[in-house]
Structure 1
Amino acid sequence: MKRRPGPDDPAKPKRSAYDKALGLLARREHSRRELKTKLRQGGYEGEETSAAIDRLGEQQYQDDDRFSEMLLRSRIAQGYGPMRLRVELKSHGLADARIRELLEAVDIDWNVMAAAQLRRRYGAGTNDPAERNKRAQFLLRRGFAAATVRNVTHADVDEAADDVS
C-alpha cells in the first residue's frame, strides 16, 4: 500500500509563498499583516512573502479594505462595540483614519445594540446595583463606550473607559 505524502514529507516540493497565501485567502479574507505573519511562520523569507502579497493585491485577491469591511460586519453581528472594533482593526495594521471612516459609515445605534446584548445575555432588567455593575462590566468587555454602558444599564461607570483608542 502506497503512503500519501504528508506536509513534512521531504519528497514533496514546498509550495511557493504565493500558492500558500492564495490557499489561505481561498478559505477567508486576510489582512496584509495577517498574511505576512502566517507566511513567515510557515518558513517563507521576507522578500518572497512581500512579493507574493503584492502580487495578490494587484490581482485583487487580497484587499485590506474588503477585509476590514468583512471583519467589521462579522464583529457587529457578533455583538461587539465600537471600541473593540477599533482595537481589532488596528491590530490588523489599518490606519487610524481608515478605521474612523469605517466606523462612521456604519449605521448602528450603539445604545440599541448594547441593550440587545444585555437582553440576549441576561434577560430582563434589574434594580440590584451589583447586578447592574456586572452587566456594565460585560458591555465594557464587549467594547462599548462608558457613556453607552451608562445609558443602557444606568450603572456608574468609570469615564476612563471612553479614552481607549
Structure 2
Amino acid sequence: MSSAILDNPVAVRRAAMDLLARREHGRVELVRKLRQRGATDDLIDPALDRLTEEGLLSEARYLESFIRYRARSGYGPVRIREELTQRGLVRTEIEQALADSGIDWAEQLADVWQRKYAGQLPQDMRERAKQGRFLSYRGYPLELISKLLRGRLND
C-alpha cells in the first residue's frame, strides 16, 4: 500500500476501493482504516456514501462474508455476534444476518467437537466442564453444548 496522503476526495475514494478490493469491509472499519491513513471525516463520509450508493460498499455483504468466514473457522453464533458488535455493527442487522446465514449451528458445533475430542463424550464432570468451556469459548450457545455433551444433540 502506498503511503499517499489522503487529503482529497479522489485519494480517499481510491484508498477505500483498494481496501474493498481485498475483502468486504463494514463502514465503521473502513472509516477507522482511512482515519489511520490520515483522511478526515469530511472527506471520508461523502466518499463512503457514494461507494454505498454505487453498491461497492455493502454492510449486508460484509456481514454475510464475515459470518461465513468465522463459521468456517469453527466459531459459533455467540462469538460471531460479539465480534460484529465490537466492530460497531447494528445489533438488529447482525441478528438478521445470522438468521439468514442458513448455517446449522448444531451441526457446526458437532463438527468442531468431533475434530477436537474425536467424538468422545466426557466420562466425568471435570472432562465435561473442560469440553463445555472449550465449546463455550468458541461461541456456541450453552443449551446446544449441554445437549451435545449429554449425547442428545438431535433431540
Interval containing the TM-score (normalised by the shorter chain): 0.7 to 0.9
Report the count of equivalent residues: 145
Give the TM-score, by structure 1 length.
Answer: 0.80
What is the DSSP-based 3-state SS (H/G/I as helix, E as strand, rest coil) of the residue aligned with 1:60? coil
| Alignment partner of 1:128 out of 124, 127, 132 | 124
What is the DSSP-based 3-state SS (H/G/I as helix, E as strand, rest coil) of the residue aligned with 1:138? helix
Does structure 1 conserve the Cα–Cα contact (< 8 Å) formed by 2:5 and 2:37? no
Alignment of 1:1-165 (within 5 A): 7=2, 14-15=5-6, 16-125=11-120, 126-154=122-150
Shift in alpha-carbon separation, 1:59–1:106, aligned structure 2, 3 A: closer
Does structure 1 conserve the Cα–Cα contact (< 8 Å) formed by 2:5 and 2:38? no
- List alignment gaps of at least 5 residues for structure 1: 1-5, 155-165
Identity of aligned residues (%): 35
Whole-Å Cα distance in 2 between the matches of residues 109 and 24 of structure 1? Answer: 31
Deviations 1:35-58 (A, max 9, x none): 000001111111111121112112
Give the TM-score, by structure 2 length.
Answer: 0.84
Larger radius of gyration: 1
Over the aligned positions, Cα root-mean-square deviation in angstroms equals: 1.8
Does structure 2 conserve the Cα–Cα contact (< 8 Å) formed by 1:90 and 1:96? yes
- List alignment gaps of at least 5 residues for structure 2: 151-155
